Amino acid sequence: MLDLKTIRGSLVAAALGAACGPLLAPLVLPAWSQNKPASGISIDNFTFSPGKLTVKAGTTVTWTNKDDIPHGIASADNAFNRSKALDTDDAFSFTFTTPGTYQYFCYIHPHMMGTIVVEAATGENAMP
């Protein structure tokens, strides 16, 4: 037999959740998503995707190898240390703190090239 108090309590909880969710989401989600900036580049079929990525200073960029052969990430101007050879589903990350344009390539397949454009951070993301 169904308990009317349980049903009533469930309906009240659902109604409150439905009413409060849309009001709280714009306040909570933007702050939560800005706590740790991150961007990703996929390596697949001998290509970096996207080939050019624009981020704010302080953003961590992660390259993930989705190809079935190894790839390695290296900076054209030694802005960061090169990665180990990345097997399928391996990843390499680097945090870009200084604005500028960074060229990178696969040191195993040098014809694979990409660009990271780092813009000055503003507001809460600005570095002191």
Looking at residue 51, its pLDDT comes to: 97
Diameter of the chain measured on Cα atoms: 73
Per the confidence metrics, is the pTM higher than 0.85?
A: no
* Assigned superfamily of 38-122: Cupredoxins -  blue copper proteins (2.60.40.420)
Please tell me the predicted confidence (pLDDT) of residue 81.
Answer: 96
Per-residue confidence (pLDDT) for residue 121, from 0 to 100: 87
* Cis-peptide into 50, omega within 30 deg: yes
Q: For residue 73, list its beta bridge partners.
A: 106
CB 31 within 8 A of CB 73: no
The rounded distance, in Å, linking the Cα atoms of 84 and 70 is 10
Res 42: pLDDT: 98
* Amino acid type, 36: K
Torsion 58-32-54-64 (CA) sign: positive
Collapse the DSSP code of 28 into the 3-class scheme (helix H, G, I; strand E, B; otherwise coil) and give the result. Answer: helix
- The pLDDT score that the predictor gives to residue 35 is 46
Cβ distance 84 to 22 under 8 Å? no
Phi, psi of 117 (to 5 degrees): -105, 120
Q: Along the chain (128 residues), what's the average pLDDT of each consecutive run of 10 residues?
A: 61 56 52 57 97 97 98 96 98 97 98 97 61
Residue 31: the pLDDT is: 45
Q: How far apart, in Å, are the Cα atoms of 61 and each of 19, 25, 41, 74, 85?
A: 37, 26, 7, 13, 17
